[in-house]
Amino acid sequence: MSMPRVGDPFVEHRNLLFTVAYEILGSAEDAEDVLQESWLRWAAVDQSEVREPRAYLVRIVTRQSLNQLRTMARRREDYVGEWLPEPLLTSPDVADDVELAESLSIAMLTVLETLGPSERAVFVLREVFDVPYDEIADAVGKTPAAVRQISHRAKEHVAARRPRVEVAPSEHEEVVDRLVAALNSGDLQGLMDVLAPDVVSVADGGGKVRGAARHPVVGALRLARYLISGMEKTPGTFVASPMWVNGQPGIRMELDGLLVGVVSLTVEDGRVTQIYSIANPDKLGRVDAEAAVAR
């Protein structure tokens, strides 16, 4: 099998194509599978006949992503507990593109999980990558008029469910630092001070992590006690440290020096309102190497 060459449009747009697939799927592993399949299809066409390679490649990747979503839906039926997206280690520079960072956030990807496959693809292509309606129509196999309706419906759906408060990365980092300090010292009051009273914590252990809550934990006191109790009961030493997760400041959790979880959070008025903890070991393979994302 031939491989993409330098100067090949597939190589030129690879970071964009990965980001499109990842945002439609919420899984870096599945996004890489989609890119591999898309490259095979791209390599098989007469590229001299392709007038707009970027649009053509986005169309291929979108179609393959929709096919992959059907496979993932079958896997999800057997998934134990809450399902969260696969986290990515990203450069702090990603936060400079506010729209890209928001679209990549675990909070946004979790909202996108509530959309149907076509709605999700249309939302991502239109709202994140500003793809024209007629090109989206080609990619998802619908008319431009239908795509406009789907886009409007999906945009309203997402707007009703995503955090409404824009927080500067510096404020987000400051809250992360306070949470890290409280976790590392086992400080119940410190946790209470940084958690919003109605904080909601969702954990994804995939049924493979002892102690990972299979249902959301709600409320600052309940969550603080749950976190401290869990760390005290587990043999070994937990260490929390800041990291950049999906375009936002987040937390890396290690137990005796081994990665055991990645935490993403939403912030409002200087406190944590949502916590997303990904502990399923199958989803932690992408946080030791920086992901190349683009739009």
277, 217 in Cβ contact below 8 A?
no
CA distances from 147 to 132, 139, 162 (A): 10, 10, 22
pTM for the whole structure: 0.93
How many CA atoms within 13 Å lie on the side-chain side of 287? 29
Structure tokens at 252: 């890396």
Q: What distance in Å separates the CA atoms of residue 137 and residue 85, rounded to the nearest whole number?
A: 26
d(CA 25, CA 68): 8
Question: pLDDT category, 228, cuts 50, 70, 90?
Answer: very high
Q: Is 277 helix (H, G, I), strand (E, B) or coil?
A: strand
Residues in contact with 9: Cβ distance below 8 Å, sequence separation at least 6, in sequence order: 47, 53, 54, 57
CA-to-CA distance for 92 and 49, rounded, in angstroms? 39
What percent of the chain lies above the pLDDT cut of 90?
Answer: 81
Instruction: Work out the end-to-end distance of the chain between its first and last CA atoms, rounded to an integer number of angstroms.
Output: 28
Average pLDDT, rounded, for the chain: 93
What pLDDT shows up at residue 75?
83
- Say what the pLDDT of residue 1 is: 44
- Give pLDDT, residue 211: 75
Residues 6+ apart with CB under 8 A from 63: 139, 140, 141
Is pLDDT above 60 for 2?
A: no
Tell me: pLDDT of 164 over 90. Answer: no
Q: What pLDDT is stored for residue 5 in this prediction?
A: 66
pLDDT, tens digit (0-9, with 9 covering 90-100), for 189-215: 999 999 999 999 999 999 988 877 889
Smallest CA-to-CA distance from 278 within 223, 200, 205 is with 205
pLDDT 10s digits, 54-77: 999 999 999 999 999 988 888 888
**Residue 219 pLDDT:** 97
pLDDT at 213: 82
Q: How many CB atoms lie within 10 A of CB 202?
A: 19
Tell me the average pLDDT across 220-248.
Answer: 94
Residues 216-241, mean pLDDT to the nearest whole number: 94
Q: DSSP letter at 32?
A: H
CB neighbours of residue 200 within 10 Å: 16
